[in-house]
Chain A
Amino acid sequence: MVDEILIIDNDPSHAKALGVYLERKRMEVHMASTTEDVMVLFDNISAKVVLADPGLPDMEMVYLLKQIKTAQPKLQIIVMATPGQFDHAMAELKNDAVHYLMKPVKSTALDMALYQARSWIALNNKLEANEKKLKVFRHTQSLFQQLFDEVPCYISVQDRQFRLTATNKMFKKDFGDEIGSHCFSVYKHRESPCQECPVADTFEDGRPHTTEEVVTSKSGKQYNVITWTAPIRNGDGEITQVMEMSTNITQIRQLQDHLTSLGLMIGSMSHGVKGMLTALDGGIYQLETGLAKNDQERTNRAFDQVRQMTGRIRKMVLEILYYAKSRELRYRSIDINEMAAKVVGDAMAIASKNGVHLEANISSSMGFIDVDPTWMQAALVNFMENAIDACTYDRSKKDHTVKFDAFEMSPDRICFIIQDNGMGMDQETKEKMFTLFFTSKGSQGTGLGLFIANRVIRQHGGNIKVESEPRKGSRFQICLPKSKPDQSKMVDIPLKVLEIENNETDNKK
C-alpha cells in the first residue's frame, strides 16, 4: 500500500523540498497552498496524514483543519509552524494535531512525526477492529441470553452441590428466582438430593442424561417434565457446571389420560355392541320361529325387538360418529309439531316394551324451527329414553309414567318438558350426568348419550334445566330458540368446561 500524504504550505519552495523528500520515502504526495485547494483535493484523495502549515495569523486554515479532523477522526495532522507562530499554532489546534514541527522542518523530526502518525493510525485500526468484534460478541451474547430466557423449557445451571447458578425466564416464572438454592428443594421441595439425578450423572461421566420427573411449582402445581442435562466445561475442559433443561409435558400426559379414557370408552362400547347384537339375534330368532309357528303375538314382539335394537345400534353409531367427527350442524326448517310427534313415536315403542306409560301433550301449530333434525331428534329421544330407563330401573314402584310436553314459551322460543316418576338422581349423578363417559347404567350405557344431547342443545342455542329427587323422579326442561342462533355468539364448549357449567346452572336454580 502506498502512503498518501497531503502537504499544505503557502511557501511553494519549502513545500516542494518536503515533497521531494517524502517521495523519496515512497509516499504519494499531494500539494495544496490555499483552503480552496484543500477542499477540492480532499474529496479526491485518500490521504491518512496531513502535513500542514496553518498559515497563521489568518485563522481560515485552522478552522478547516479542525473541521476535517472532526469529520475524519482517523486522519493524522502534523502541524509545522515558524518559531514565531509555533506556540500560537499549538494553542489553536491542541490535540487535533498528532505532532508539531518547527519550520524549517528537519528530516529526523519529520520521520519521527510520520512514525508517530502511522502508529496512531495502526492503533486506531486495531481499536476499530476490536470494537467491531466486541459488537458482534455483545450481539451474540444478548442473542444467547434471549434464547436462554425465551426457550419454552425450564433451564437451570447447577454446580456440584446442585446449587442453581443461573435460571431462565420460564424457570423463574414457575419456580421463582432462586439463585443459590438447591435444585432438589426448588423442583421437588426436598431437603436432600434425589436418589436418581441426571445432573450428578453428567458431572460423573460428562455425558448428557435424560429422565422424566414430576416437579412441583412454587404455586404447588405438579408438572410432568422430561429433563435433559449437558456438561459445561471451563477452558481446561473440566466440568464445572451442568445445565439442566426440562420440558413441560404435562399436557401430553393429560392427553394420554384422555386417550386412555377413550380406549376405555371403546372397550365399554364394544361390550354394549355385543349385547345389542345378541339381542338382535334374539329378535331375528323369534321372528323366524314366530313366522314358522304362525304365532302372531311372538312375531309382533320379535318385530318390536328387532326395530328397537336397530334403533339402539343406529343411535350408538351416531354417537360414535358425533364424538369422532366434527360437530357441524346442518340446519333445516322443521315443523315443530312433526318433530315432536316423531320423538314421541320413537319413544312410544321403547316405553310400551318396558311397560311404561307415555303421556304426550303437544300444543297445536307451534310453527317451524331451525335445527339439524337428525341431531335434535336424537337428542330429544335420548332424554326420553333416559326417562324410560329411569322408570325401568326403579323397582320401588309399579306404575311408571313419562310425560312429554311441547309448547311455545314465547313467539320465538319453544320448550319441551320431559318428566318421569322413575328412580331419580342423587347429587353426584345430577352433577355428572352431562360429563363424557359418565353413566349410571353399568354396561348398558356408554356415557356418551347425555353428553352429546347436552352439546347438541347448547349448539342450537338452547338450555336445559334439571330437577330431580331420588326415588321420586326427574324433570328436564329443554328450551330452544326457533331461529338459528347467531354463529358469532356460538362458542364450542370445550370438554372440560361442561362439568363446571352444569354445576353453575344447578346452583342458579
Chain B
Amino acid sequence: MKKILIVDDDPNIIDYLTTLFEDNGYSTFSAHDVKEGLAVAREEIPDLITLDLEMPEEWGPRFYRKMSQEKSLKNIPVIVISGLSGGDHAIGKAVAYLSKPFDREKLLEIVKETLQ
C-alpha cells in the first residue's frame, strides 16, 4: 500500500485528506508543522507528500528545502495544497499545485498518476 504524508496546520484539512486518501486505498501519516513533518518523513519514507505553504513557525518551502537536502527524502514527489494565491512558484519542483478549496477528483487523479 502506498504511503502518503499530509503536512498541514489545519486539523480539519488533515482529517479530510486522511479520510479521502484512505477511502481510496492509500495509507496516510500526518504532521502539523515542518518539524513534525520532517520527523515523520524520515521514519516512514512516504511515497508522496502533500504540503501546505503557510503554517505557523516554519513555512512549506522551508520543509521542501530541508527534505531536498536529505538523500532518502529528496526524490519523494510533493503536491502543494495551499490557500496562498500565486504560490505555484514557491516550490518549483512540486509535481502539482492545488489551490484551496481544491477539486477532490483532480487531486485523486494527480495522486494516482504520480504513484504509478
Please list the residues of chain A having a beta carbon within 8 angstroms of any beta carbon in chain B: 270-272, 274-275, 277-283, 285-286, 289, 298, 301, 305, 308-309, 354, 441-444
Contacts and interface: CB of A to CB of B under 8 A. Distances in A.
Nearest to B20: A285
Contact of B84 (A271, A289, A301): A271
B75 interface: no
Contacts of A441: 56
Interface centre among A274, A277, A309 (most CB of B within 10 A): A274
Nearest to A282: B16
A427 to B, nearest CB: 19
B13 A282 contact: yes
Interface centre among B15, B16, B23 (most CB of A within 10 A): B16
Interface string B80-98: 0001110000000000000
Contacts of A274: 83, 99-101
B104 interface: yes
Contacts of A270: 83, 85
A442 B56 contact: yes
B19 interface: yes
Interface string B10-46: 1111011101100100000000000000000000000
A286 B20 CA distance: 8
Given A277-B100, A286-B15, A443-B56, 14 more contacts: A274-B83, A274-B100, A274-B101, A275-B13, A278-B16, A279-B10, A282-B12, A282-B16, A285-B20, A289-B23, A298-B19, A308-B12, A442-B55, A442-B56
Contacts of B47: none
Interface residues of B, number: 23
A282 B19 contact: yes
A282 B15 contact: yes
Contacts of A271: 54, 83-84
Given A274-B99, A274-B101, A283 B16 contact: yes
Considering the complex of A and B, which 7 residue pairs feature the smallest CB-CB distances, nearest first? A282-B16, A274-B83, A279-B12, A442-B56, A277-B101, A274-B100, A278-B101
Contacts of A354: 11
A301 B17 CA distance: 14
Nearest to A442: B56
Contacts of B19: 282, 285-286, 289, 298
Interface of B: 9-13, 15-17, 19-20, 23, 54-57, 83-85, 99-102, 104
A444 B9 contact: yes
A157 to B, nearest CB: 52
14 contacts: A278-B12, A278-B16, A278-B100, A278-B102, A279-B10, A279-B16, A280-B101, A281-B102, A282-B20, A283-B12, A285-B16, A286-B15, A286-B19, A442-B55
A441 B100 CA distance: 19
A282 B30 CA distance: 16
B86 to A, nearest CB: 11
Contacts of B55: 442-443
Contacts of B100: 274-275, 277-278
Nearest to A281: B101
A275 to B, nearest CB: 5
Contact of B16 (A281, A443, A444): A281
Contacts of A444: 9-10, 56
B20 to A, nearest CB: 6
B9 A442 contact: yes
Nearest to B104: A285
B71 to A, nearest CB: 30
A202 B13 CA distance: 64
Given A442-B54, A442-B55, A442-B56, A275 B10 contact: yes
B111 to A, nearest CB: 15
Contacts of B104: 281, 285
A274 B10 CA distance: 12
A443 B55 CA distance: 7
B10 to A, nearest CB: 5
A283 B11 CA distance: 12
A281 B102 CA distance: 9
A157 B23 CA distance: 80
Contacts of A308: 12
B56 to A, nearest CB: 4
A309 B12 contact: yes
A224 B57 CA distance: 36
B9 A278 contact: no
A333 to B, nearest CB: 37
A286 B22 CA distance: 12
A146 B15 CA distance: 72
B23 A275 contact: no
A301 B57 CA distance: 29
A246 B49 CA distance: 59
A301 B11 CA distance: 13
A354 B23 CA distance: 23
Contacts of A289: 19, 23
A272 to B, nearest CB: 8
A354 B55 CA distance: 19
A301 B10 CA distance: 16
A252 to B, nearest CB: 29
